[in-house]
Each structure stands twice: as structure tokens, then as C-alpha cells.
Chain A
Amino acid sequence: MAEDVIKAVGLTKVFNKNLVAVDHINFSVKDGEIFGFLGPNGAGKTTTINMLTTILKPTEGQASILGYDIVKQADQVRSVIGVVPQEYTADEDLTGYENIMLCADLYGIPRDVSKKRAAELLELVELTQFKDKKVETYSGGMRRRLELACGLVNRPKVLFLDEPTLGLDVQTRAATWNYIRLLKEEYGMTLFMTTHYLEEADSLCDRIAIIDHGKIVISGRPGDLKKNLGGDVITLTIKENDDVTEVIKSVEKVKEVRRENGSYRVKAELGRVTTPLIIDALRSRGYTVTKLSLTEPTLNDVYLEYTGRSMRDAEESPEAIRSFRMMMRRIRT
């Protein structure tokens, strides 16, 4: 089955009549896919998720989840989706178990069923031991896992994850992703996620869309997008002073050779295969390669190519996020 689980056509959201947050975007997500929405803060990722999860009404355009219209059939949409929001939304004054049960109640799941599911989910995210502790005592990673459990209590067909690893340290991020993969296997869901960690998107997503200023600038498989950039970059230096540009160019799959300050910058497809061939070609003509490096393009290069700036420039530091959270907590107490 490869029909469109999520389909957006000309989806647009304008705030206050002049701030265009999402600008006529079109995309579709197939059954069982992990679809990643990439972009800097303020690009329109969360607004898109909020529209798809029926929290915001689109200004223009349409979208459907499993064929249900997000505006006209909002209730049906709500019952087939799970949402793991960007913020920690679990109630701090309640225990982990109570939070899951509350979510279950909101979906109208009968108590005997929800009790079983809560126990199962707590086990899955390894919070059984802490289920009767108030959420305010949980660490960031534990809270994320609790959010995941809450988002899964209605056995959703489609799970929306908004920046699921924002503000977590590298280890916890990796652990969180392991859970998400595990849960996806377990429940066979379609995943729609937003992130601004490019490495994560690269390793996890089947397909991605890069969104910038409310528009999708490019979408496709991460591998294809990288390949389309024109291949890998090989940099090498030889001992001799001769110009070997033509020798390198004669190797199959080499696309471009430039000589810069005594070293050669070679653009080639399938760098890992082409590099040994280049070395062989040079050696057979009596040249010695002294230095060599191979760089495969990353999603950041893709991002750079299509938005004209590096993702990292737009990224928010973890410190800033943490201090924001601290501030919120202070206001509260």
C-alpha cells in the first residue's frame, strides 16, 4: 500500500493578515514513511504541524490525513493521529502514569483498555520505575519519553513529532531516536517530523522537505538530494610538480578538476569508488600521491545550495533554549 497518508495542496497560513508563515506548500507522505520537515526556526515548520494536527485552521489550501480533511473532518483526523509537541506538555503536578491516563481519557479510551496500554507504553519507554513520581522530578530525556508515550496512547496511524530532540544532549538525542524507531516498528506508523538537526534527518528520514520562509524549496530522498549536488569532492596533492589535471580527468566518473595552490580539487560521482581509480591512474604514470581527502556532501550542503545560507547560522543554541525553559519555570512558581 503506497497511497498518500498525508497530502497537502496549496496549504497556506497567514497570521494577522500580513505575516505569511506557510506559503502554498504541496507535499505528500506515503504509508509507513518517515517524512522530515527541515528548516531554521521561524521557517513555518511548527505552523505546518499545527495545521495538520487541527490546532490551526489554514488560511488557504487543503490537507488531508488518511483521506480525512483537516478542517471539515477534524474530529476523525484527531482520532487517528498522535502528536508529540515541541514543548514538554505533560502536567508537572501529576505523575507519569496519571499523565498517560489523562491522554487516554481525552481519546475516550475505556479504562480497562487504557490501563493495559499505559503499562505497556511505560514499559516501552522505560518509565515503569518512575510512573508514580511527579513529572516535575523527571529529567529532560524522561519527559521526552513520556511525551512519546502520551502521543501513542491512542495507537495513532500517523505520528507527528515537532522537534522531538530539541534541547537534549547528544546522548539523550540518540536514545530518543532509538525509542522512536522502536515505536515505529512496533506500531507500524507513518511519521511526520520537524527538526533542525540535519544529521538526524539524514540518518532517519526516508524523505525530507526543506522549508524556508514558509516555502518548500526542495524535497526528496536525502541520498538523492546529496547526489544531485554533483557528487563528492576529492582533494589530493602529489609529490611531483607536474600538472596532472588531464590524467585525473581521464578517469571515469570524474566531472571536474581544479588545481588550487598545488593541490587538486576533484568533483566526482561515487567518490569512494572513483578515488582508488584516480590513485591507480596517477601511480601508473609514475606520480606519488602524498595527501588525500574525500568529502561526501551532507544535508547541510544541500541546505546551503537551496537556501543560500548554512543551517547552522540559523540554528538556536542549546543554551538559549535551556535559559528560555528556566525562565518559563521561574514564571510559573
Chain B
Amino acid sequence: MNEYRPSKLHGTWALTVRELKKWLKDPIILFMTIIQPVLWMSLLGKAMNISAIFSTSNLPSALAEQIMKRTFGTGDYFSFMAIGMISFTVMFTTMFSGMSIVWDRRLGFLNKVLSTPVSRGAIIFSKVLNSSFRAMFQATLILIIAVLLGLQFGPTFNPLNILGVYAAVFLLSVGLSSLFLALALRSTRQETQMAVVNLINLPLMFASNVFFPASMMPNWLQAIANVNPVSYLTDALRQLTVLEMNLPALMFDFLYLGAFAAVFASIGLMLSWRYLSK
């Protein structure tokens, strides 16, 4: 009998470190994960210069300012958009957690891990943690670059709010990567996984307040945006940074994100017990 028993934490951590090392060691992937959100933010945020629509029209600037504020909550569309980009990045980073388990299966790595006494849950949870860390890292970068590009913080902003940003990003990452992992557990083809991810991701992004406030959408779309967890992350992030904080609304955002993370992480864990071995 082997004298050592792996603790759940030990195994999860070892597998997480493996994923993080893979990420840090591949300069191209690291570069892409940094450059991608920056590109999106600068292109989308600066190209869709909605404030310019008003400043080039004959509207008095005070009125224009008011319209902007009523629509976006802030006079600066770039600030609104830049924070939305964090949610966007979380979505695209977490979807790779599903892809990576398909890869591990194809390369035989998954089978090798399955033949060790490491907890089945650790296999899933390490991938969840890995993509959450990545998403948090990217959120940091986006914030820094957004500030450099002229992000305007709201009146209630406080440096401690950044901790709230991390917490919110972590919660949505856990929920979404658990969802994508659960969908990928039995899959052996990346193509299938890619199709599934695209099918989910684009509606999630557009039926949310990432680019535009949900209150301006048609009712049916608003209904979707109002259950979409991405909207709650975006709202929480905006309240913590560029908007004026509304504490009850912020609490509700966190509650919703927490519930989303808890439900999908449990589903992922349950499915991993059942489906990782056939």
C-alpha cells in the first residue's frame, strides 16, 4: 500500500500549477491573452465613439451629456465599454477550459491522471481555477490599460473596490468554466466543443449589457439579458468602477453571481464523478 494519500487540495493545486505553467511558458499564448482584450477594448471602445454622435450634432453639450448619462450612467462611452470588455474577456477565457479537457483526453493525459488516486473533482476544479486566474489576470490588464486610455472612475470609486472586481470576475469565471467543462466532459472532438462554445458565447455576449444598456433593448431581449449572468458581472463591475455605487443592486449582483457559480460548479463536480470514467 502506498504510504501517501493525496489530499484534495494537493492534487487540485498540482494540476492548477501545471495549467498555469503551460500558459506562462508559451510566449505566444501569453502574448495573445494579453493583447486580445487590449485590441478589443481599444478598437471597440474607441471606434464606437457614441459621445461623438452628440458632440457633432447641434445639441447643446449639456443636453448631450445628460442623454449620455441617462443611457450609460456615465458621460463617457469608452469607460462604459472598457468595463464591459472585462466580462467579454471572462467569457472567452473560460470557454478554453472546456477545450483543454478535450485536449487532455485526446493526448492521453486525462487517462493517465484518471489512473492516479487524485480526486476526480480536482481534475475539473483545477481547470476552473486556472481559467479564473487567467481571467483575473486579464481583468487587471484591461483595467490598467483602460486607465491609461482615459477611463473615468465614478464618484464612489475607492481603490478597495478592485477587490470586489476580482471577486466578481472570479465568481463568473467559476460558473462559466464549470458550464463549459461540463459540456466537454464526454467530448472527444475539439470541433464539437468549438461549435458548442460559439453557440453559447455570442448570444451570451450580445444579450447582455456588455455593449449597451439592457434597459434600451426590446422587451424579449431584456428578459434574456436580465437572467444572463454576464449582465450581472458587467453591472457589478461598472458599479464598482465607473458608475455611482448602488449598494442594494450591487449586493444583488453578487448574490446572483455567487448562486450561478455555486450551481454550475456543483453540476460540474457531479458530472465529473459520473462521466470522467466510462
Residues of A within 8 A of B (CB): 50, 53-57, 75-76, 78-81, 83, 85-89, 91, 93-94, 98, 102-103, 105-110, 113, 134, 150, 154-155, 328, 331-332
Docked complex Cα distance between A55 and B1 (Å): 19
Chain A contacts for B1, CB-based, 8 A: 76, 79-80
Further pairs besides A55-B111, A79-B4, A108-B10: 17, Cβ < 8 Å: A54-B277, A57-B278, A76-B1, A78-B116, A81-B115, A86-B108, A91-B18, A91-B22, A93-B25, A94-B18, A107-B116, A107-B117, A108-B5, A108-B7, A108-B11, A108-B117, A134-B25
Minimum distance in angstroms from A218 CB to a CB of chain B: 28
In the bound complex, CA of A243 to CA of B158 (Å): 110
Which residues 43-82 of B sit at the A interface, judged by CB distance below 8 A?
none
**B25 in contact with A85 (CB, 8 Å):** no
Would you call B112 and A85 a contact (CB within 8 A)? yes
- Residue interface mask B85-125, A partner, CB < 8 A = 1: 00000000000000000010011110111111110000000
Which residues of chain A come closer than 8 Å to B10, judged between CB atoms? 105, 108
Contacts of A86 in B (CB 8 A): 108
Interface residues of B, count at CB 8 A: 32
Kindly list chain B residues whose C-beta atoms are within 8 Å of the C-beta of A94.
18, 21-22, 25
Main SS of chain B's interface residues? helix
Nearest Cβ distance between residue B114 and chain A, in whole angstroms?
Answer: 5
Contact B108 A85 (CB under 8 A): yes
Q: Check A79–B5 contact: CB distance below 8 A.
A: yes
A89 in contact with B115 given A102-B18, A108-B11 (CB within 8 Å): no
Q: Are A85 and B7 in contact (CB under 8 A)?
A: no
A102 touches B14 (CB 8 A): yes
Q: Which of A106, A134, A328 contacts B113, CB < 8 Å?
A: A106
Are B116 and A89 within 8 A (Cβ)? no
Q: Which B residues fall within an 8 A CB radius of A?
A: 1-2, 4-7, 10-11, 13-15, 18, 21-22, 25-26, 103, 106-109, 111-118, 190, 277-278
With contacts defined as CB atoms under 8 Å apart, how many contacts are there between chain A and chain B in the complex?
100
Q: If A106-B116, A107-B2, A107-B117 touch, does A85 touch B22 (CB 8 Å cutoff)?
A: no
B residues less than 8 Å from A85 (CB atoms) = 108, 111-112, 115
Which residues of chain B are near A80, meaning CB under 8 Å? 1-2
* CB proximity of B113 to chain A, nearest CB, Å: 6
Residues from chain A with Cβ under 8 Å of B107 in the complex: 87-89, 328, 332
Residues of A within 8 A of B22 (CB): 91, 93-94
Task: Tell whether A105 pairs with B111 under 8 Å between CB atoms, given A76-B1, A93-B22, A93-B25.
Answer: no
Task: Pull 6 A–B residue pairs with CB atoms less than 8 Å apart, ordered by A.
Answer: A79-B4, A80-B2, A89-B112, A103-B116, A108-B5, A328-B107
Known pairs A93-B26, A94-B22, A107-B116; A87 contacts B2 (CB<8 A): no
* From A57, A94, A107, A328, residue with most partner B Cβ within 10 Å: A107
What is the distance, in angstroms, from B111's C-beta to the closest C-beta of chain A? 5
Residues on A with C-beta less than 8 A from B103 are 332
**Complex: how many Å from CA A296 to CA B122?**
54
Question: Could you tell me the distance in whole angstroms from the C-beta of B9 to the nearest C-beta in chain A?
Answer: 10
